[in-house]
Amino acid sequence: GSGAMAAFKTITVTSTTVNGAAKYKVSDGTTSSAAKDLGVAAAYMTSAESVTVSILASDGTTVLGTGTLNVASAASDVSIDIQ
């Protein structure tokens, strides 16, 4: 294996241009965070270098769009291309 250690990543989606978006969740392909309201931080344990961010409707389950976020290094004010 790569020997990568899992670490807490704090991810906050503050805004989106996706119509109807109210919540988001983060996944590394193995585990997912709980659905969080936009603007609320998700503390997430992962050893992955990138995660998938899903933009959700207010029900917390309907996926309106997804994008990839690089979490290998600390960053702020990052734009994600949501498809």
pTM of the model: 0.86
Residues 5-48 have pLDDT tens digits of 788 889 999 999 999 999 999 999 998 999 999 999 998 889 99
pLDDT band for position 2 (50/70/90)? low
The owner of tokens 């309907």 is: 62
Rounded to whole angstroms, what are the CA distances from 24 to 12, 32, 45? 9, 11, 16
